[in-house]
Structure 1
Amino acid sequence: MSDEILFAEDTEEEEFGSSARWKVLIVDDEPEVHAVTKLALGDFVFQDRSLEFISAHNGQEAMQMFREHNDIAVVLLDVVMETDDAGLKVADFIRNDLHNHFTRIILRTGQPGQAPERDVIINYDINDYKSKTELTAQKLFTVVISALRSYRDINSIEENRKGLEKIISGSADLFSILSLENFIEGIVQQLGSILGGTEGAVYLTAAVAGPKPFESNDSRELYVFTGKGAYENKEGEKLEQVITGAELASCKKAYQNKCLVFENEYLVAYCGSKSQTGSLLYMSGLPRALNESDKRLVEIFSQNVQVAFDNVMLTKEIEDTQKEVIERIGLAMEHYFGVGKHIQRMVKICDVIGRHAGLSQAELNTLCLAVPLHDIGKVKLPNDIAIDIGELDGEEWETLSSYAEIGYNLLKDSNRPIIKTAALIARDHYEYWNGNGYPQGKSGSNIHIFCRITSLADAFDTLYSKKERDIKQVVEIIKSQKGLQFDPNLVDILLTNIEEIEQIIQNLPDDGNTAIERTI
């Protein structure tokens, strides 16, 4: 029996039950071609997916079908329809207007002379060219199989390309994270982007430093470092306390075998690096079962997670050390000048004012680390001048004023951002908003906001720490200097948050009698 295609009467399209079907667009102005194509491919199945036929009878209809369907796998495209080159215009529209380079285009023509194969292949991005007279049922089957394989492989390559882009982008974002608070959010965001979202996540490690430090004699003992969703506020708890059952078994398997474990609704990824014994990333509530491409991407991603974690921990260690050194210098100055816990309170007050003034977290960190050195210049002044609260004569005032420049000169040569900020604050925190301060007579926004915040915090705490003044008196004095000594906007912020600031002072009372420096 011949396998040549025979045109027959149009019949009702067979309905397929599967929702996952390959879309095939038939474009031809002859109804018989649509009917016989559906008949010839009616029982076609490739990779457990049947075909879904879409019909168009001219070039304009074909273009509209492509606008409505972005997942057409194969188009069987007639060349000569309403015009001699209608099919070629459709092919050009697919590739150059829609920039669709995935759909496989098979040209079918009953008049090869109208569009010579050599010219069409050279000038148009098509995938096959067949004359209707040579296209038997078997050849049509072979052509469609070949086209679908190409479509599948191209989509697989594209999926992997997009996944790798996400891996590169995600890894870059992780390595830019410098705070523990943002670490798990970064992981969840990037891995969720790759997988389509998750509900809960927890990062478990054997490290002994974290938001809530924990200790273990067994380096293989895992603790929650940070979590999201159902695992929030679990820091410091053991693995067995937060994950149980089959999920716990999967976690132990992944850690012991240094591998990834994938299940229908969760995954466990071992994250290893040279500097740590390794950690686990557990993610629950996956939106779908992971395919092989997903698993490869998770594996690549997990290799970078621990390195990013090490980076965060190293940054934290450096910052903590830096902070402690500066705080100890500040505490030594407090003791030397007898100002009680003035510097400790100032740091917290600056944080409140700066936060409400719109400083970023990085700016707040820099400000609060630099503030303890605001009076570093006083170390070169006579002690009785530095703490005198009475009236000073002209010579004494000139001597006291000079300590701003002294502090700046002590710190200015550093290339470290925090020390450079401290140098600026040491020099300019006694500049006045109206230009009547010292040492350079700066005014308004020409005074760095760090210095304006420090000046206000310094003055408020100094005034309030004097036992003979109550909060109302202090507020009135600060108000009287609004727009004169202090930035009006910052004064408004301080007064709006006065209860929080007053609580800071009450929580850090001075011990015994302390001398108070001149501020206003």
Structure 2
Amino acid sequence: MMGDFLFSDEPEESVSEIEQGTWKVLIVDDEPEVHAVTKLALSDFEFQNKRLEFISAYSGAEAKQLIDVHTDAAIVLLDVVMETDDAGLQVAKYIREIAQNNHIRIILRTGQPGQAPERQVIVNYDINDYKSKTELTAQKLFTVIMSSLRSYRDIITIEQSREGLEKIIKASRDIFSAHSIESFIEGVMQQLVSLLGIAEQAMYATTLVAKNPEERNNKKLIVCSGTGDFEKSEGKELEQVLEEGQLMACEQALINKSIIYKDNYLFAYCTSEYNHKSMLFISGIPKNLTETQRHLIEIFSQNVQLAFENVQLQSEIEATQQELVFRLSEAVEQRSSETGNHVKRVAHICHILATGYGLSKHNAELIRLASPLHDVGKVGIPDAVLNKPAKLDAQEWEVMKTHTEKGYIILKDSPHEIVNAGAVIAKEHHEKWDGSGYPQGLKGENINIFGRIVALADVYDALRHKRCYKESWTLQNVIDEINEQKGKHFEPKLVDIFNDKINELEAVLIRFPD
């Protein structure tokens, strides 16, 4: 008896390149043999380190369902004659006209070319190739799949580039809006990713978004925007989202102030005129970047920081303007019996009411910023009148009422939108829906919507808090009073919104107590 043979374990196949997903190929044919032969002929096919993933449909109806599910399919090998003589043609029509999928490459295969003449099909249907099953050898199948995938890749790259450019255009149009920084960076990153071909995810981190003094002093890199796995990492420190090897590469890029390429990712140091540190990370990049691609990354890493700093500077200017408005309003309130938090509460109450009323996001934000100026005219009212603990006599009341006109005169004719809105609010926030208010006795919708909203917000907050001339009212008493003034002092629609949003309004009072 022969001795036992000992065989060493077969060495595992070394994987030289990480597989970057698959190309989806939809096979639509009512003959199972066609599916089997097609899969066998293309079993070892690979393009750009990605293999093929086959999805089978055995009828036109089933194909339509799969097209809706697999919107990212690259190719459909489509039989013409299945449950009906033109089932395949109807699928092609469905793909382009109903599913609105113009990316997928449609290769029509038929065993009966006489029933669907090539010239007629090419003219009438948006297909990309037409083959008879008898002529489609393994080599020709390989060739047609390769050429179709190249076309699909280029179409997707162009589409990604278009989407990135569209985001950049939108960001440049509204570059100084609240979310412009995020949308701008997201757009330029997507543009760069599309130009690199198969990059998977990107992330931008900077010291510019540090929110507290400790982070700013330590120059912590904070994730500002990201795609893929980094999409939910915004606001986190870079050390919290990177692996150890990636952190080492990042440190190297920071120290050398350069671009570091590692395996299938890179870190690009972003230059700055203001001693800020920023880092661009891209993973899933091609193994062999061209000199053009490397140069593009270098230019991008320089320019994206400059763009970001410009937008950040504008944001800081706007924030400074807003703070000055609040501080001016607080200074005015300190002369009276009201506290500085009164203007903060009124601002947030106005925003809630404006949003509930259906004002645009811009106008809701505008009234929040401008409403603190509603009583700025009180700067011209004598202390004896402004802080009198008892009821004002007729003459004193006439003096008090002049604060609306005084405020309007102070703020009018400004080139700034917030100040102009403040002028309207200062003048009209004591007008009443029934026309019995002051200074002009305006009625109904002749009162600016900003004035109508601030009128309700101001009264609500004043009644809910103690003043030198009165105690605070209970919530129920305030609700009763405001509903009693529905159609008199206040616009009925606003009173309905007030009732609906009362819990949100009360939360504002808790957030900013006296």
User: TM-score, normalized by length of structure 2?
Assistant: 0.64
Instruction: Spell out the pairing of 1:466-485 with structure 2 (5 A cutoff).
Output: 466-467=467-468, 469-472=470-473, 476=477, 479-480=480-481, 482-483=484-485, 484-485=488-489
Aligned match of 1:102: 105
CA change 1:500–1:198 in 2 (3 A) is farther
Q: Aligned to 1:203, which of 199, 202, 205?
A: 205
Alignment partner of 1:501 is 2:509: yes
Letter paired with 1:350: V
Letter paired with 1:430: H
Aligned match of 1:247: 246
CA distance in 2, matches of 1:497, 1:82: 63
Whether the aligned pair in 1 keeps the contact of 2:60 and 2:83 (CA below 8 Å) is no
Whether the aligned pair in 1 keeps the contact of 2:346 and 2:454 (CA below 8 Å) is yes
CA distance in 1, matches of 2:217, 2:141: 64
Aligned match of 1:333: 332
Instruction: Spell out the pairing of 1:391-406 with structure 2 (5 A cutoff).
Output: 397-406=397-406
Aligned match of 1:374: 374
Any stretches of 5+ residues in structure 1 without a counterpart? 1-17, 507-520
CA distance in 2, matches of 1:46, 1:417: 62
Aligned match of 1:510: none
Whether the aligned pair in 1 keeps the contact of 2:45 and 2:52 (CA below 8 Å) is yes
CA distance in 2, matches of 1:51, 1:457: 61
Letter paired with 1:321: T
Structure with bigger RCO (C-alpha 8 Å, 6+ apart):
1
Aligned match of 1:7: none
Instruction: Spell out the pairing of 1:176-255 with structure 2 (5 A cutoff).
Output: 176=174, 203-205=205-207, 207=208, 210-213=210-213, 221-224=219-222, 245-255=244-254
Letter paired with 1:504: F
Whether the aligned pair in 2 keeps the contact of 1:334 and 1:343 (CA below 8 Å) is yes
CA distance in 2, matches of 1:130, 1:308: 55
Displacement after TM superposition at 1:404 (Å): 1.8
Identity between Structure 1 and Structure 2 (%): 26
Whether the aligned pair in 1 keeps the contact of 2:377 and 2:404 (CA below 8 Å) is yes
Whether the aligned pair in 2 keeps the contact of 1:463 and 1:469 (CA below 8 Å) is no
CA distance in 1, matches of 2:371, 2:78: 73
Aligned match of 2:162: 165
CA distance in 1, matches of 2:116, 2:510: 87
Residue aligned with 1:104, SS: strand
Whether the aligned pair in 1 keeps the contact of 2:161 and 2:190 (CA below 8 Å) is no
Residue aligned with 2:205, SS: strand
CA change 1:448–1:261 in 2 (3 A) is farther
CA change 1:429–1:248 in 2 (3 A) is same
Letter paired with 1:411: L
Aligned match of 2:9: none
Letter paired with 2:343: V
Q: How many residues align?
A: 455
Alignment partner of 1:345 is 2:341: yes
Instruction: Spell out the pairing of 1:17-166 with structure 2 (5 A cutoff).
Output: 23=25, 38=37, 42=41, 45-47=44-46, 61=59, 65=63, 68=66, 71=73, 73=75, 75=77, 86=85, 89=86, 92-99=89-96, 102-105=105-108, 125=127, 127-128=129-130, 132=134, 135=135, 140-166=137-163
Whether the aligned pair in 2 keeps the contact of 1:25 and 1:72 (CA below 8 Å) is no
Any stretches of 5+ residues in structure 2 without a counterpart? 1-18, 97-101
CA change 1:461–1:199 in 2 (3 A) is farther
Q: Aligned to 2:353, which of 340, 353, 357?
A: 357
Instruction: Spell out the pairing of 1:251-262 with structure 2 (5 A cutoff).
Output: 251-255=250-254, 256=256, 258-259=258-259
How far does the alpha carbon of each residue in 1:407-442 deviate from its partner, in whole angstroms, 9 at most, with x for none? 224433224221121111111111234432101223
Displacement after TM superposition at 1:350 (Å): 1.0
Aligned match of 1:425: 425
Letter paired with 2:472: I
CA change 1:90–1:215 in 2 (3 A) is closer
CA change 1:503–1:345 in 2 (3 A) is same
Could you tell which deviates more after superposition, 168-177 or 365-374?
168-177
CA distance in 2, matches of 1:159, 1:414: 49
Whether the aligned pair in 2 keeps the contact of 1:345 and 1:461 (CA below 8 Å) is no
Whether the aligned pair in 1 keeps the contact of 2:80 and 2:88 (CA below 8 Å) is no
Displacement after TM superposition at 1:320 (Å): 2.2
Whether the aligned pair in 2 keeps the contact of 1:404 and 1:426 (CA below 8 Å) is yes
CA distance in 1, matches of 2:420, 2:361: 18
Alignment partner of 1:313 is 2:321: no
